[in-house]
Chains A and B, each alone.
Chain A
Amino acid sequence: MHIPDGFLSPQTYLPAYALAAGAWAWAARGLRARLDEELVPRLAAMTALAYGLGLVMVPVPGGTSGHALGVAMLALLFGPRLAFLAYSLVLVLQSLLFGAGGITALPVNALAMGLAGAFAAVAVHRALRGINETAAVALAAWVSVVVSAALVALVLGAQPLVAQRADGTPLFFPFGFSIVLPAVLLPHLAIGVGEALLTVAVWRFARRRRWRAAA
């Protein structure tokens, strides 16, 4: 869900930045006191990991592959706060350093994928892990993909409402909800399945390695 600069209106991304700033401050609160030789490398490694996971192609039935999000994996293994911060830092690096990814879409992506995706994954996992661990992990990953996609689609679909000319021609992203929601959501229902399979496989690997899962 790589939105280039220029499709989101300032009326959208400026408030989104304000909201994201609050979320970053909240996620970093408490961490700041522990920003030491333990946490800085950990956060850096996790950021690189979030970036690397984005390069892994998710196998999707039918042969095509979409890109992995990996947020659910990070959130289940290391907690939603750290996942959100690492994912946000990846977006910053991608847009500023590697020149890939819009600086205006950044807060929307960070909030939708990093924050909502991570919390959706953890919430679903907590709710269901008592019933069946594997199903809980798979569903957590699937839900986090679909929730993120839905949020991004909502923001895109709202653009014609937020900013248009007097005669009704759009100024930014041209399509309303009726087109964007199915166009974005339907492929992500399948991508979510690939992501779920991948997350379960890595979860098992992490358990075998006895990594401490997020409490």
Chain B
Amino acid sequence: MTPAGWLAAYLGAVVAVGFVHSPAALAALFACALAAAGRPRWRLLRRALVAVLAFNLAVSAGYAAVALWRGDFAADYLLLVNLRVLLLVFLGFWFVARVNVLAAFAFSPTLTLLATLAVVQAQHFARLARDFRLAFVSRNPAPARLADRARHASAQAATLLDKSVAGAAETALAMRSRGGFDD
């Protein structure tokens, strides 16, 4: 199957799962997905669990508290919603691990180019943001004050802005020099 085909299959599966309201059926679908995912299944499952843990715990605990107080608690619902969230997030991670997503955008060359350029810069920015954070820790012998944190955050934002403006100009020149858009 082509990457674009996988993308369509993934999107179809996501919508279909949204219409299944039986925990038993969702569990069966989950078992199928786990079986089909092959060797990386447990790694993917662990990542999916970690990704949804905070939000789902908060919502589940909140629901349990409110529903018990109101007297309409349904364990069935908790099972349903947690299973569905986990299944959908698992499908997402599986799709991302299985398919080169940039290739799935191949139906639009402009979108592919745009996404590739953006991803390269986004990764660069992520590294830069990490360095900023670590340098701040390194230079602070005690927890920093609010004013320092504010100044640090705005210096970081300004550096990112500066770099993206410069980066855009630089990429434009590089593309022109390599004959991009010369139709």
Contacts and interface: CB of A to CB of B under 8 A. Distances in A.
A96 to B, nearest CB: 5
Interface residues of B, number: 76
A70 interface: yes
A14 B74 CA distance: 27
Interface in A41-89: 41-49, 51-53, 55-59, 61, 63, 65, 68, 70, 73, 77, 89
Contacts of B114: 40, 43-44, 47, 89
Interface stretch (A123-131, A142-150, A203-211): A203-211
A5 B125 contact: no
Nearest to B110: A35
B81 A41 contact: no
B47 interface: yes
B129 A41 contact: no
A35 B175 CA distance: 13
Contacts of A52: 122, 125-126, 128-129, 160, 164
B169 to A, nearest CB: 8
B77 interface: yes
Interface string A153-187: 00000000000010011111111000100000000
Main secondary structure of the interface of B (DSSP, over half): helix
A129 to B, nearest CB: 20
Interface residues of A, number: 71
B160 A99 contact: no
A41 B172 contact: yes
B16 to A, nearest CB: 9
A71 B178 CA distance: 33
B126 A55 contact: yes
Interface string B100-129: 011010000010011101111110111011
Contacts of A173: 59
B160 A104 contact: no
A10 B122 contact: no
Interface stretch (A108-116, A132-140, A194-202): A194-202
Given A14-B15, A48-B124, A171 B119 contact: no
6 contacts: A6-B17, A38-B172, A169-B72, A174-B77, A197-B154, A205-B161
Interface of B: 11, 14-15, 17-19, 21, 47, 51-52, 55-56, 59, 62-63, 66-67, 72, 74, 76-77, 80-81, 84-89, 92-93, 95-96, 101-102, 104, 110, 113-115, 117-122, 124-126, 128-129, 133, 143, 146, 149-151, 153-154, 156-158, 160-162, 164-165, 167-169, 171-172, 175-176, 180-181
